[in-house]
Structure 1
Amino acid sequence: MIKEENNKSAFPHNLCIFLVEGKRMSTIYERVKGVID
């Protein structure tokens, strides 16, 4: 994990990446959940 206190200037960029990755993971999760159900 990235230490937040060492990367405060990069936080907005990391947050943007986190949101994009989160959306992608959510899509994968919904697809897998559909297969399991």
Structure 2
Amino acid sequence: MRKSPFLSTNDADQTNAQAVFAISAILIFASSRVSRA
């Protein structure tokens, strides 16, 4: 995954994007388990 100039110059935006990605991945995983049950 290559960094864009905006992310490389702003650490707060990069960590925020990683947090959003992690949360969305957890939500997708949780929803898939609920739909199977």
Instruction: Determine what percentage of the aligned residue pairs are the same residue.
Output: 12
Unaligned runs of 5+ in 2: none
- How does the TM-score come out when normalised to structure 2? 0.55
Q: CA deviation at 1:13?
A: 0.6
**3-state secondary structure, aligned to 2:10:** helix
Unaligned runs of 5+ in 1: none
Question: C-alpha offsets along residues 1-37 of structure 1, whole Å, 9 cap, x if unaligned?
Answer: 125xxx2x22221110110121112111101022234
- How does the TM-score come out when normalised to structure 1? 0.55
Q: Which runs of 4+ in 1 moved over 4 A?
A: none
